[in-house]
Chains A and B, each alone.
Chain A
C-alpha cells in the first residue's frame, strides 16, 4: 500500500516534469525540469529494487548531463522564441496519442501472468523483509558486477570503445573549427 502510494506520486511528478520540459517558456527552466525528471527516474529505479541503476542515474544524468545541457543553454540567443514549436505539433500530437492508446491497450490486455507463471507482484517484500524471505534482489549490485564481467564482457568493452569514440569525436569537431578561426 505504501509502495503504491509512493509509486503514483512519483509517476505524477515524472509525467508532469516531462510535460513541463516541453511546455515551459524558458529553455533554462526546461533544463532544470529535466534534472527533476531524472531524479524521479532514479526514485522509480529505487522502487523497482534496482538501487545501483538509481545511483548511476543520479551520478550520470543529474550530475553530468544536466550540467552539460545547462551550459549549452547559454548558446541560446533568443530565450523567448527558443521554445517555439514547428508546424508539426498538431499532426504529431494525433499520432502520439494514437501510439499511446495502442500500446496501452496492448500492455493492459496482455496476459503477463501466462508469460511467466511465477511473476512477482508482491510489492510488500520490496522495502522490508516479508516472512522468512529477505527483500527481493537484495544483492543486485554484487550480481551485476559478476554478470557484467562474465556474460556481458564484450558488450562492456564495446561500450567503453563507444565512450572513447564519442570523446574523440567531440574534441575533433571543436578542434577543427578552432583551427579555422586562427587562420
Chain B
C-alpha cells in the first residue's frame, strides 16, 4: 500500500462518480454519485496525510501531518449538509412536477 495505489483508487472512484453525475436521469442517483465524488476527494486527502513526512507526531509536526484529516472532517460535514439540502430539493421538485427526473428543464423558482 503506497501513496500511488491509494491515489489511483481515489481517481477511479472519482471518475465513476463523475460518470454517474453526468449520465443518470434520476435525481437520487445523481446525488449518490456526488457523494462518491466527495468521498474520493476525502480519501486522497487522508492518503496524503498518512504518507506525509514526519509521521510520528510531535507538537511541531501535528499541524503539517494532520491537516489532511481535518480537511476530510470538513468534507464530511459539507457532504452531509449538501445531501440534506439536495434531498429536500428533490422533495420540492417532486411536489411540483410529480417526478424526479432531470431530463426536462426544471423551474424551481416557485417551489
Residues of A within 8 A of B (CB): 3-4, 7, 11, 14-15, 18-19, 21-22, 27, 30-31, 34, 37-38, 41, 44-45, 47-50, 52-53, 56-57, 60-61, 64-65, 68-69, 71-73, 75-77, 82-86, 88-89, 92-93, 96-97, 99-100, 103-104, 107-108, 112, 116-121, 123, 133-134, 136-137, 139-140, 143-144, 146-148, 151-152, 155, 159, 162-163, 165-167, 169-171, 173-174, 176-177
Contacts of A31 in B (CB 8 A): 28, 32
Distance between Cα atoms of A11 and B2 in the complex (Å): 13
- Asked whether, in the complex, the Cβ of A89 is within 8 Å of the Cβ of B28, the reply is no
Taking a contact as CB atoms closer than 8 A, the residue among B19, B29, B53, B74 that contacts A117 in the complex is: B53
Contacts of A166 in B (CB 8 A): 81-82, 84-85
- Asked whether, in the complex, the Cβ of B52 is within 8 Å of the Cβ of A116, the reply is yes
Residues facing A in B2-50 (CB within 8 A) are 2-9, 11-13, 15-20, 22-26, 28-29, 31-33, 35-36, 39, 42-43, 46-47, 49-50
Contacts of A171 in B (CB 8 A): 88
What is the minimal beta-carbon distance from A83 to any residue of chain B, in angstroms? Answer: 7
What is the minimal beta-carbon distance from A144 to any residue of chain B, in angstroms? Answer: 6
- Asked whether, in the complex, the Cβ of A170 is within 8 Å of the Cβ of B70, the reply is no
Q: What 0/1 pattern do residues 62 to 100 of B give for CB contact below 8 A with A?
A: 110111011011101111111111011111101110111
What is the minimal beta-carbon distance from A115 to any residue of chain B, in angstroms? Answer: 9
Distance between Cα atoms of A143 and B92 in the complex (Å): 42
- Asked whether, in the complex, the Cβ of A69 is within 8 Å of the Cβ of B11, the reply is no
Residue with the greatest number of chain B CB neighbours at <10 A, chosen from A53, A83, A88, A97: A53
Contacts of B7 in A (CB 8 A): 107
Residues of B within 8 A of A (CB): 1-9, 11-13, 15-20, 22-26, 28-29, 31-33, 35-36, 39, 42-43, 46-47, 49-57, 62-63, 65-67, 69-70, 72-74, 76-85, 87-92, 94-96, 98-100, 103, 111
Main secondary structure of the interface of A (DSSP, over half): helix
What is the minimal beta-carbon distance from B18 to any residue of chain A, in angstroms? Answer: 6
- Asked whether, in the complex, the Cβ of A44 is within 8 Å of the Cβ of B6, the reply is yes
Distance between Cα atoms of A15 and B43 in the complex (Å): 13
Distance between Cα atoms of A152 and B2 in the complex (Å): 28
Distance between Cα atoms of A60 and B73 in the complex (Å): 11
Distance between Cα atoms of A109 and B13 in the complex (Å): 20
- Asked whether, in the complex, the Cβ of A121 is within 8 Å of the Cβ of B3, the reply is yes
- Asked whether, in the complex, the Cβ of A65 is within 8 Å of the Cβ of B35, the reply is yes
Given contacts A73-B28, A85-B24, A92-B19, contact A144 B50 (CB under 8 A): no
